[in-house]
Amino acid sequence: MSEARQFQHIGQRTIRPDGFDKVTGRANYGADFTLPGMVWGKILRSPYAHAKITKLDVSKAEAHPDVLAVATHQDLPSVNAEAFAAGETAMDVLDLARNVLADQKVLYHGHAIAAVAAKTEAAAEVALDLIEIEYEVLTPVVTLDAAIAAGAPVLHEDMLTQGLDQPATEPSNIASRMELKKGDVEAGFKEADVIVERVYETPTVHQGYIEPHATVVRYDDKAPSLVWASTQGHFDVRAAVSKLLKMKLGQIKVIASEIGGGFGGKTTVYLEPVAMILSKKSGRPVKMVMSREEVFRASGPASASRSKVRIGAKQNGELVAMEASLHFEAGAFKGSPMGPGCMTIFTPYDVPNMYVEGFDVVLNKPKVAAYRAPGAPQAEFAAEMAMNELANKLDMDPIELRLKNAAKEGTQTIYGPKLKQVGLIECLEAAKQSPHYQSAIGDGCGRGLAAGFWFNIGGQSSVTLNLNPDGTGTIIEGSPDIGGSRASMQMMAAEVLGIEPSRLNPLVADTETLPYNQTTGGSRTTFATGMAVIEAAEDVVSQLKERAAALWNVTTEQVDYKNGVALNLAGDDQMTLAEICAAAEKTGGQISGRANVNARGAGPSFAVHLCDVKVDQETGKTDVVRYTAIQDAGKAIHPSYVEGQYQGGAVQGIGWALNEEYVYSDDGVMENAGFLDYRIPLASDLPEIETIIVEVPNAFHPFGVRGVGETGIVPPLGAVASAVSDAIDTPVTKIPCSPPHVLSMILNRG
């Protein structure tokens, strides 16, 4: 195991190997790629949130002299409903086909209907205008209440709610219901001295990646078609294109460009299948880039939610029962993260009686996609707010209340497994001792805190590690690098091989170079791809020993390998890695290690965040004045990038809690589809984000790694909202705490 292990490279703050390209502008992102003969693709989008397409005539667009091809849903082969996994969410092939190009019905404002490929962007826009469409406009369903109301207009005539005790006979907008239970909540509540029961709401928000979706696709009849895409999972792009267009996997080569942010939003496809059709029809490579407005209207935001939560405790703070009913908005097609929401909501607490039910609801908004711990921020926000109110009512410190009930090794989760060793208690203790918590709350300020949990996943990763005759080498891995993971791969390989990290160049290979690699998501990369890197490096080490043994004419058991040097235990000889590589030709050829893993044992990461805010009581404006993010990393391979994940997740959560929301008209049109009015945090909005890395090693990773990328977005919603509650002396139940909302709470407080 890795406790108290001394590392040579792990834990250092190296310069990332792709850094030079990133700071000079040389790195190539989705829109930075061109091919000879390339043409531009643009999409025609629905002006209505809910309508039947009664006429679609593309002939005038096709006739435009600068247009080379037009695509509609008719160009997609007929597909059946079929679930397939992509990142942390499941996709349905039929739904995906209807999302990338609408099939007879448009289900959200901005829904793609047709696409053109033209010689210039301007010509493409003119051509879109030439497409003739007529609609039968239907009543848009734009709120949760409207979607679940009796007699609501139904989006999908074949949608019968799954998961009900009595099977549904009439279609509705509730795609599914889920139920999880542990113990007996009714009996539990009878023991409660204090109960908190509230309804909490969170809005539709967007991941907010600064790089819009972009792809260049070249269809080829005789060779693999090429897809260059900004994506978190190029193997899943391949799978999606394969299923949608009925092409064999071997006919598609996907290159993952550098990616300008994803956070879950780039684990599905929007443009790639459409570009493939256009390329096939036009015989030219096709480039498609979403505008910022298209990103907001027609990619995959995160679910809005409504959570009814009831928790009860004895006077001494011991929780006796926790219950919740969660509604998640899925957007136009089924598949919100309602499931993970139900599973995570109460997991930070070891309580004998729990009941959670969840509903996945469709309505006329874009189909949601994953956003950093999908479902957990929404659900855990509700639980954490209730916990803080409970602490208030019990006159108990909110950290003490959590310590008293904290999940730990052996805790039975509501979703099945028992937790292995986890670090929540350590995070809570660190929070208690932190300079932030020890400091007095400033004048006119309020303080809040919240805990957070995410499971993290393992999954399939594949790595090849090639060494050169001069002892330099390449780590070929398949995880698009969204945050600096190549540096960690370099360090993990270097640790095993005992050489300087800079001698190894990590690269993210395309889908033809490696077997399947699961999407970069689920906080899996440092854990699972790291595991594969370590295994591939260990494979190299065993080969190095064999080669040294051959050169020394001893058995492999007589060779040891430490710190980059092979030692002949039967003599005095030593050989460095470089020396063994120089002789590789003689001993059997060049040395290359390999690992294909389906990593198990991903360790969950718990976090606790502290937040102080100052509220202008005359205007409702809230400023975050101090913030600390404390999280268990298991083992921080590269501390700077671990801190970076904590800080990035915290700030996304701060935005979610304070100012971010999709504003919809009654017609279902998003009114703030741009960075001007969709307000993500700015540098001037924020203080320093202090971080504390807690390390409770994960026994299932050779170095103790836990994924850290996602948990960090979970606590800020509760930490910020409870800080506001504290500052205005009123419980917040709805975010964002935008100034009009906060002022209204101030003016209306009892």
Partner 1 sequence: MKTHVETTINGEPVECLIDPSTTLLGMLRNDLGMTGTKEGCGSGDCGACSVVMDGELVCSCLVLGVEASGADIETIEGVADRDKLHVIQEKFLEHAALQCGICTPGLIVSTKALLAENPNPTEEEARYYLAGNLCRCTGYDKIIKAVMDAASAVREA
Partner 2 sequence: MVAVTYHAPTSLDEAVALLSSSELPAKVLAGGTDLIIQMQKLVTEQRLIVDLKKIDGMQSATLSDEGLTLGPSLCCAKLTRRDDIKDVFPGLVEAAYLIGSSQVQGRASVGGNLCNASPAADTIPALIANRAVCQIVGKAGERSVPVESFVVGVGKNCLEPDEILKAIVIPHPGKATSDAYLRFIPRTEMDIAVASAGASISLDSDGICTNARVAIGAVAPTALVVEEAARKLIGQPINEATLEAVSQAASDASTPISDRRGTAEFRRHVVGVLAKRAVMAAADRAKEK
Q: Tell me the chain's radius of gyration from C-alpha atoms.
A: 27
Contact status: 739 vs partner 2 (CB under 8 A): yes
Nearer to partner 2, 364 or 659 (CB): 659
Q: In whole angstroms, give the CA distance from residue 511 to residue 247.
A: 15
Q: In whole angstroms, give the CA distance from residue 140 to residue 242.
A: 33
Nearer to partner 1, 37 or 250 (CB): 37
Residue 700, binding choice from partner 2, partner 1, none, Cβ under 5 to 8 Å by partner class: none
Q: Which of 621, 639, 640, 667 binds partner 2 (CB under 8 A)?
A: 621
User: Using an 8 Å Cβ cutoff, are 102 and 51 in contact?
Assistant: no
Nearer to partner 1, 543 or 652 (CB): 652
Residue 740, binding choice from partner 2, partner 1, none, Cβ under 5 to 8 Å by partner class: partner 2
Q: Which of 7, 8, 29, 583 binds partner 1 (CB under 8 A)?
A: 29
* Alpha carbon distances (Å) from 729 to 436, 615, 619: 21, 11, 16
Residue 88, binding choice from partner 2, partner 1, none, Cβ under 5 to 8 Å by partner class: none
Contact status: 4 vs partner 2 (CB under 8 A): no
Contact status: 49 vs partner 2 (CB under 8 A): no
Task: Pick out residues in 199-228 that bind partner 1 (CB under 8 A).
Answer: 207-212
Q: Which of 12, 162, 291, 592 binds partner 1 (CB under 8 A)?
A: 291
Contact status: 126 vs partner 2 (CB under 8 A): yes
Q: Which of 166, 169, 684, 748 binds partner 2 (CB under 8 A)?
A: 684
Q: In whole angstroms, give the CA distance from residue 137 to residue 579.
A: 74
Residue 129, binding choice from partner 1, partner 2, none, Cβ under 5 to 8 Å by partner class: partner 2
Contact status: 63 vs partner 2 (CB under 8 A): no
User: Using an 8 Å Cβ cutoff, are 259 and 482 in contact?
Assistant: yes
Candidates 154-162, 192-200, 402-410, 668-676; binding stretch for partner 1 (CB under 8 A) = 668-676
Candidates 75-83, 248-256, 468-476, 674-682; binding stretch for partner 2 (CB under 8 A) = 674-682
Candidates 71-79, 425-433, 544-552, 657-665; binding stretch for partner 2 (CB under 8 A) = 657-665
Q: Which of 378, 439, 428 is nearest to 400 (CA)?
A: 428
Contact status: 122 vs partner 2 (CB under 8 A): yes
Contact status: 132 vs partner 2 (CB under 8 A): no
Helices 376-394/715-728 angle, 10° precision? 40
Q: In whole angstroms, give the CA distance from residue 442 to residue 291.
A: 43
- Residue 430: helix, strand or coil by DSSP? helix
φ, ψ for residue 473 (rounded to 5)? -165, 175
β-bridge partners, 418? 412
Q: In whole angstroms, give the CA distance from residue 511 to residue 608.
A: 38
* Alpha carbon distances (Å) from 479 to 194, 459, 492: 48, 12, 15
Q: In whole angstroms, give the CA distance from residue 725 to residue 96.
A: 41
Alpha-helical (H) ranges within 283-397 are 292-298, 338-344, 376-394
Contact status: 439 vs partner 2 (CB under 8 A): no
Contact status: 424 vs partner 1 (CB under 8 A): no
User: Using an 8 Å Cβ cutoff, are 629 and 719 in contact?
Assistant: no
The pair of structure tokens assigned to 197 is 């029961």
φ, ψ for residue 372 (rounded to 5)? 35, 95
Q: In whole angstroms, give the CA distance from residue 453 to residue 341.
A: 11
Contact status: 647 vs partner 1 (CB under 8 A): yes
User: Using an 8 Å Cβ cutoff, are 297 and 45 in contact?
Assistant: yes
Contact status: 519 vs partner 1 (CB under 8 A): no
Helix (H) or strand (E) holding 119: none
Contact status: 688 vs partner 1 (CB under 8 A): yes
Nearer to partner 2, 177 or 679 (CB): 679
Q: Which of 224, 374, 483, 718 binds partner 1 (CB under 8 A)?
A: 483
Helix (H) or strand (E) holding 655: helix 639-658
Contact status: 505 vs partner 2 (CB under 8 A): no
User: Using an 8 Å Cβ cutoff, are 620 and 742 in contact?
Assistant: yes
Nearer to partner 1, 359 or 371 (CB): 371
Contact status: 738 vs partner 2 (CB under 8 A): yes
Residues 82-121, mask of contacts with partner 2 (x by CB under 8 A): ----------------------------------------
Nearer to partner 2, 63 or 663 (CB): 663
> Phi/psi zone of residue 8: left (φ > 0), alpha (ψ -120 to 50 degrees), beta?
alpha
Residue 538, binding choice from partner 2, partner 1, none, Cβ under 5 to 8 Å by partner class: none
Residue 22, binding choice from partner 2, partner 1, none, Cβ under 5 to 8 Å by partner class: partner 1
β-bridge partners, 708? none
Q: In whole angstroms, give the CA distance from residue 320 to residue 329.
A: 30
Candidates 65-73, 311-319, 615-623, 704-712; binding stretch for partner 2 (CB under 8 A) = 615-623
Other CB atoms within 10 A of residue 594 CB: 17
Nearer to partner 1, 29 or 415 (CB): 29
Q: In whole angstroms, give the CA distance from residue 668 to residue 365.
A: 7
Per CB under 8 A, residues contacting partner 1 are 13, 15-16, 18-20, 22-29, 31-32, 34, 122, 207-212, 258-263, 289, 291-292, 482-484, 638, 640-641, 643-644, 647-648, 650-652, 674-676, 680-684, 686, 688-689
* Residue numbers at the binding site for partner 2 (CB under 8 A): 122, 125-126, 129, 618-621, 623, 658-659, 663, 671-672, 676-677, 679, 681-682, 684-685, 738-740, 743-744, 747
